[in-house]
Amino acid sequence: MTGILLLSVRSLGQKYRIDDLLEDTSALREEQQGLVDRMNHIKASLRAEADVEPTGVFASRLRLLFGDGD
């Protein structure tokens, strides 16, 4: 009987641990999306600034840095 009780308590503990891990995963996904959005905003701002620069050197460097060909 004690073995069954210990297994039940262990199962319950694992269930709560899984729930905590799911919450952590969700929070990390939200944080990652926030960082991606922030990075895209920075890239867009830099590209807008590069478009104003008349020689095109800054835009060329950004294309190399960001690895895009447009």
pLDDT tens figures, 9-50: 788 888 889 999 999 999 999 999 999 999 999 999 999 999
Could you tell me the residue ranges of all domains in the chain?
Answer: 3-66
For residues 47 and 62, the answer to whether their CB atoms sit within 8 Å is yes
List own/partner pairs for 60-69 with CB under 8 A and 24 or more apart. none
Other CB atoms within 10 A of residue 46 CB: 16
First to last CA, the chain: 70
pTM greater than 0.75 (yes/no): no
